[in-house]
Structure 1
Amino acid sequence: MSCIPLTQKSSDFLISSLSQVNPFNDTSSIIKWIEYKNNQRFEVNKIPLSKIENWYFEETTGNLRHQSGKFFSIEGIRVETNAGPIKQWSQPIINQPEIGVLGILTKKFNGILYFLMQAKMEPGNINKVQLSPTVQATKSNYSRVHKGKVTKYLEYFLDKSKSWVLLDQLQSEQGGRFLRKRNRNIIIEVPSNEDVPVYEDYCWLTLGQIKNLLQYDNIVNMDTRTVISCIYYNCNGNDRYDIDRVNECIHYSPLIEDSPSGYYLDILKSAMKKDEGLSGMDDIRSWSTNLKTKYYLDVNSIPLREVEKWRHDEFNIYHEDGTFFRVIGASIDTDKREVGSWCQPLIEQIESGVVGFITKKINGILHFLVQAKVEPGNFDILEMAPTVQCITGSYKNEKPENQPKYLDLFLNPDQSVVRYHALQSEEGGRFYKEQNDYWIIEAGDEFPVEQPENFVWMTLGQITEFVKHNNYVNVEARSLISCIGLI
């Protein structure tokens, strides 16, 4: 089947995002369901690096690899750049060249679009189980390199002849941890008369319920967040915000019980403003291109054993200052995954970080302050990032001028300006119990419109427009904007 027209897709997404009434699963029962799943058997234990079964340190380089040559490896890189206060360094990094599938299957019930979500256990999850896409699998996993069970629902994404594609994009992963890693973010819709089986660890939710669950700590995983961040709302079908048409979509729809108001209406208005922001789309694209021309980023692969200032003991690969992150080994035992037990390396962040957007009304439209962030794993030098994105502990001993700009606004914010705050986990298949403070704050008239050259004000609609294209908006920014609800 072909793609659904833009206006219908956007309206379907908008209606689902404003719907929290679910005849299958109310939101409170989903929270209890997740709590129940968290008590099921899923054992994760730290083990010596030399005891990671089916993994080995390559003799010539010291790189940590899987015996199959698949999955991923831990390697070294040397970095030189003219961006930021630190001009050169070396570090371990995850090299995972495979493109995985992050796919959500949707279906309409009584005119409302529902998302088939999975309660998925990952070894690095801080609370064992989080809501993940219908399919969340690396190519090695769904190709069954592990010789385990078949990935459920994979057939819907490999053969899309009986479904409509709502969105399909390649999106980047963490540029500070992965070397040029991308995943396929895809949402498909099956016909309403299609009989889709609902297996034990799956449930139907509206987009509004998912957004509501994102108000809680560590319930919705990072892969779900990046997929739903690709969703855009524009029931008018063109680039201009038509308040009358939007009100008609919302207030006269028999499918919607609650309507956006106050800050949520500001969010919706910003989401539909693509060409009426402080800067136009061409201006923002030129801003990004100019900085990519100004900055250079020279990244070279080196043997892991040659990474400077990093040490290796029985249980860890770690920085000599005790900052950033460490590589650990883990053994996993469960009956809830494709294989019952396995071992793997994981990245353990030393302490939580801050991921935050500053927002401000400019000419009556809510804008987000976006940072151009250079990271060694980026495909194209820099990506659009949140206003602040950092591991706070990494800057404890730094001079104030070397600390991230505006970090202080998120360390002890005035609660009256906080529009969103929750702890959200990073991807549990590679990162061990990593969570960051996610913030959105609204600045007042006193906050300057004029900003340094590596920042730009963008409407939410402009951000989501750039999300449609590869390697423009980083995963942290996408993850944070996914948390924004409309009610």
Structure 2
Amino acid sequence: IIKVEEDVEEHDDFRWMTLGQIKELMRYDNMVNMDTRTVLSGLKISDYLSLADDTSRLSVFGKDLLLSSVTNHCHSTISEHLSWLSSLKSRYDLKVHPFPLRKMTDWRVLAGEISREDGKYFKVVGVKVTISNREVSSWCQPLIQPMQQGICAFIIKKINGVYHFMVQAKLECGNFDVMELAPTVQCLTGNIPSSRSARPPFLDLVLESSGSQVLYDTLQSEEGGRFYHEQNRNMLVEVDDSFPLELPERYRWMTLGQIYQFLRFNNYLNIQSRSLIAALNYLS
């Protein structure tokens, strides 16, 4: 994020917007792209506003988020979170290496696409792109097309009056450092097991939430230069005091301020977490 003092020449495809306007647009499906959401996730309201300032324009939820971003009254310390994450990483040895496509028995090469025989997960499609407002007007490239929609959701809970986010340590094959901090729920929704015990933890709670529990619920697109029409349902769900503090081993309660501390360093929070953090609206 670069702050400029001088006038900047405008172009037809560019427009000045306030941060509030961009966050308002995030309430609508697929309006703000993934790169913008990622960049804005690093903007902390506590860098510009404190609890001692005039917060009358903030909503009640916004004031609670501000408190969560500045408070020292945390369920666990940053040192405890780092120790927890390091301990989990030490248990896994992630090895990823190239494998010839011709040896993949569950995949098939068809005209214009490479896909799984069972139709699950995703396929790779070849596309020709023609566009008028880019440096190059036409090109060909592969894109990854998902076969089902995903869901990304944070569960939040007030602990001693302070909002905490339930963060998941998630192992994915493309991670730089084995595990990254992910939303409480991050999964595909097209192949949910019929048995509740086989489903991802907390998925049913999120899907069955309603009314005032649901603080945010929109569809957000993924990076359009690599993925074809991929969108995930982004949600923020609040639970009450009856929800237990004790969590499964791969989950932790973190304040918003602690999440922002992890955002300062490379490869801690994954893209899905950053997208949800960017959508937090303090005004309404």
- Same-fold call, TM cutoff 0.5: yes
Q: Secondary structure at the match of 1:369?
A: strand
Q: How does 1:331-350 map to 2 (within 5 A)?
A: 331-350=128-147
Following superposition, the deviation at residue 436 of structure 1 comes to 0.9
Contact 1:233–1:272 (CA<8 Å) still a contact in 2?
no
CA–CA separation in structure 2 for the residues paired with 1:293 and 1:267: 33
Amino acid at match of 1:414: S
- Report what 2:60 is aligned to: 262
Deviations 1:17-57 (A, max 9, x none): xxxxxxxxxxxxxxxxxxxxxxxxxxxxxxxxxxxxxxxxx
CA–CA separation in structure 1 for the residues paired with 2:31 and 2:123: 25
Q: Does 1:203 align with 2:1?
A: no
Q: Does 1:405 align with 2:198?
A: no
Q: How does 1:133-172 map to 2 (within 5 A)?
A: none
Amino acid at match of 1:426: E
- Report what 1:317 is aligned to: 114
Which blocks of at least 5 consecutive residues in structure 2 are unaligned? none
Aligned residue pairs total: 283
- Report what 1:229 is aligned to: 41
CA–CA separation in structure 1 for the residues paired with 2:166 and 2:45: 20
Following superposition, the deviation at residue 315 of structure 1 comes to 2.4
Distance 1:417 1:309, change over 3 A: same
Q: How does 1:327-406 map to 2 (within 5 A)?
A: 327-396=124-193, 399-406=195-202
Contact 1:353–1:390 (CA<8 Å) still a contact in 2?
yes
CA–CA separation in structure 2 for the residues paired with 1:338 and 1:204: 22
TM-score by length of 2: 0.95
**More relative contact order, 1 or 2 (CA 8 Å, 6+ apart):** 2
CA–CA separation in structure 2 for the residues paired with 1:345 and 1:301: 18
CA–CA separation in structure 2 for the residues paired with 1:269 and 1:369: 17
Identity of aligned residues (%): 47
Contact 2:155–2:237 (CA<8 Å) still a contact in 1?
yes
Q: Secondary structure at the match of 2:68?
A: helix
Amino acid at match of 2:95: D
* RMSD (Å), alpha carbons: 1.6
Amino acid at match of 1:285: L
Amino acid at match of 1:224: T
Contact 1:265–1:486 (CA<8 Å) still a contact in 2?
yes
- Report what 2:216 is aligned to: 420
Amino acid at match of 2:282: L
Contact 2:51–2:67 (CA<8 Å) still a contact in 1?
no
Contact 2:151–2:234 (CA<8 Å) still a contact in 1?
yes
Following superposition, the deviation at residue 247 of structure 1 comes to 4.3
- Report what 2:29 is aligned to: 217
Amino acid at match of 1:450: E
- Report what 1:250 is aligned to: 54
Could you say which structure has the larger radius of gyration? 1
Q: Secondary structure at the match of 2:130?
A: strand
Following superposition, the deviation at residue 413 of structure 1 comes to 1.8
Which blocks of at least 5 consecutive residues in structure 1 are unaligned? 1-186, 237-244, 252-257
- Report what 2:238 is aligned to: 442
Deviations 1:328-353 (A, max 9, x none): 01111121111111111111111111
Amino acid at match of 1:470: N
Q: Secondary structure at the match of 2:114?
A: strand
CA–CA separation in structure 2 for the residues paired with 1:365 and 1:304: 50
CA–CA separation in structure 1 for the residues paired with 2:10 and 2:54: 30
Deviations 1:42-79 (A, max 9, x none): xxxxxxxxxxxxxxxxxxxxxxxxxxxxxxxxxxxxxx
CA–CA separation in structure 2 for the residues paired with 1:288 and 1:248: 34
Deviations 1:222-245 (A, max 9, x none): 000000111123348xxxxxxxx8
CA–CA separation in structure 2 for the residues paired with 1:324 and 1:338: 33
Structure 1 segments, 4+ long, off by >6 Å, are none
Following superposition, the deviation at residue 310 of structure 1 comes to 1.8
Contact 1:235–1:249 (CA<8 Å) still a contact in 2?
no
Distance 1:354 1:196, change over 3 A: same
CA–CA separation in structure 2 for the residues paired with 1:468 and 1:308: 42
Q: Does 1:467 align with 2:281?
A: no
Following superposition, the deviation at residue 248 of structure 1 comes to 4.2
Q: Secondary structure at the match of 1:188?
A: coil
- Report what 1:26 is aligned to: none
Q: Secondary structure at the match of 1:234?
A: helix
CA–CA separation in structure 1 for the residues paired with 2:52 and 2:84: 36
CA–CA separation in structure 2 for the residues paired with 1:375 and 1:230: 23
- Report what 1:295 is aligned to: 92
Comparing 299-308 with 275-284, which one deviates more in the overlay? 299-308
CA–CA separation in structure 1 for the residues paired with 2:163 and 2:54: 20
Following superposition, the deviation at residue 303 of structure 1 comes to 2.0
Distance 1:307 1:400, change over 3 A: farther
Q: Secondary structure at the match of 2:15?
A: strand
Following superposition, the deviation at residue 202 of structure 1 comes to 0.4
TM-score by length of 1: 0.56
- Report what 1:188 is aligned to: 2
